[in-house]
Amino acid sequence: MYELHFGVPMSGAILCTLNTRHDSAMVSVLLKHSEAKMLFVDYQLFDIAQGALEILSKTTTKLPLLVLILECGQPSPDTGKNSSFPGTLIYDNLIAKGELGFEVRRPKDEWEPISLNYTSGTTSSPKGVIYSHRGAYLNSLATVLLNEMRSMPVYLWCVPMFHCNGWCLPWGIAAQGGTSVCQRSVTAEGIFDNIYEHKVTHMGGAPTVLNMIINSPLEVRKPLPGKVAVMTGASPPPPDVLFRMEELGFIVTHSYGLTETYGPGAICTWKPEWDSLPRDAQAKIKARQGVHHLGMEELDIKDPLTMKSVPADAKTMGEVMFRGNTVMNGYLKDLRATQDAFKGGWFRSGDLGVKHSDGYIELKDRSKDIIISGGENISTIELEGVIFSHPAVLEAAVVGRPDDYWGETPCAFVKLKEGYNVKPEEIIQFCQNRLPRYMSPKTVVFSDLPKTSTGKTQKYALREKAKAMGSLFKKNNNSRL
């Protein structure tokens, strides 16, 4: 996939990296929507690709040419006459036929598309996000700056390259002459082993990856050969996770963005005067989303109705909006969704946040996730951060549970660390000791958390579970929580 980030655009084609966790049905939908002409598939996913093509063969869609990628020396599977798709090519054989004197087909216009990225579908059905050559170029250089990469960095891949083209780092790392350390699966043991063996200088990962590292068994940990810079994003990391990562010797930088902003669009740039603050205060500041990077023109928090900027009082909530060359061209074949996303001349993220006096923004919630209980707005991000700080908690997600009296109340789904046994009341009390009573969860459910293919918690699934529980307050009951 790393090679294809260069070969495909250089041939004048558009790269569409599909999530490796999709099943055949989803792959067939995305192949049809993208009208892909070639499908490169790793041998471990060959069955999924074949299943997708079998589904497509029953429609009028023209099938893409299948190119199979094998490990070195691995025999190819049966793709002959008896195969469902006898025209399958082998990647290495295809590369061997390449012309050394091939003239790179450069874009005639920087606005031309370089890649198509499908959103994870956390809040809705997947959309095809179009990236331009100019946007990818600018964000690639921005990621080098955000990660403070010197020449010849060693980067450990924990961020999937199918996710926002790996935050544009495949191109950024190459620009710095860097080494990419790739792994088929991401585990705490693999992370420590690779850092130790290859003297890794940089890596990235969602908060779930950070959580994996800080909760790893002592026997898999190895001393870091030096400070390892980690960029995290995807969802706001709890301050406690950031604090514990730095205790292990990692330097964590918090970025924020969406698929529509080529991955990182904002960065919590650190100020020297914050060094003197207590560690817990530093972690809370580092959890902010910060300011836009040099490749992004503007970042603001606005009232979505009036489009006026909210005051920088750290209290007034508005919608996070972006504008610039590192914002997508639009959604493929979806003019209505594109127009809605850019209504008012800014890209509307759907995230709610506040602006601090220094201009740094801080997310409070997704617009669909905010809980309104008895007229009070409750930030699930803030509540999740408090729950995460409980020593027994491994993962946590908060959604609204319908309530006949309050409208809705906070319902926390919690996954405990192995070996811990606590009661829901203990989690509730823990939160009440640290937050206003109305913000604390009224319900705590211990369970595994459903995840999307990019590792985000599927809150819509949790909302359905909370809805099925019914109201905590009963109309025929005089008690009020």
Q: What is the average pLDDT value for the chain, to the nearest integer? A: 89
CA distance 172 to 292: 18
Q: Are strands 443-446 and 407-416 parallel, antiparallel or unpaired?
A: parallel
pLDDT for the residue 479:
43
- In one-letter notation, the amino acid at residue 369 is D
Q: How far apart are the C-alpha atoms of 354 and 364, rounded to whole Å?
A: 7
Residues 360 and 368 sit within 8 Å (Cβ to Cβ): no
Encoding tokens for residue 106?
A: 């450069």
**Contact between 376 and 410 (Cβ < 8 Å):** no
Query: In whole angstroms, how far apart are CA 365 and each of 31, 121, 353?
Result: 33, 17, 7
Structure tokens that stand for 84 in this block: 């469902």
Query: Tokens representing 19?
Result: 């999530």
Start-to-end CA distance of the chain, whole Å, equals 53
**What pTM value is reported for the model?**
0.81
Sheet arrangement for strand 113-118:
15-16, 113-118, 128-132, 330-331
The pLDDT, as a whole number, for residue 78 is: 60
Q: What pLDDT is attached to residue 77?
A: 65
The residue behind tokens 């909006």 is 321
- What is the reported pLDDT for 375? 64
The structure tokens listed for 302 are 């606005």
**Gap between the Cα atoms of 467 and 26, Å rounded:** 27
Q: How far is CA 96 from CA 65, 67, 89, 92, 312, in A?
A: 18, 13, 12, 6, 58
User: pLDDT (tens digit, 9 = 90+) per residue, 157-187?
Assistant: 999 899 899 999 999 999 999 999 999 989 9
Q: What is the pLDDT of residue 123?
A: 39
Q: How far apart are CA 14 and CA 201, in angstroms?
A: 31
Q: Which residues of the chain have pLDDT under 70?
A: 76-86, 120-126, 234-236, 367, 375, 453-455, 473-481
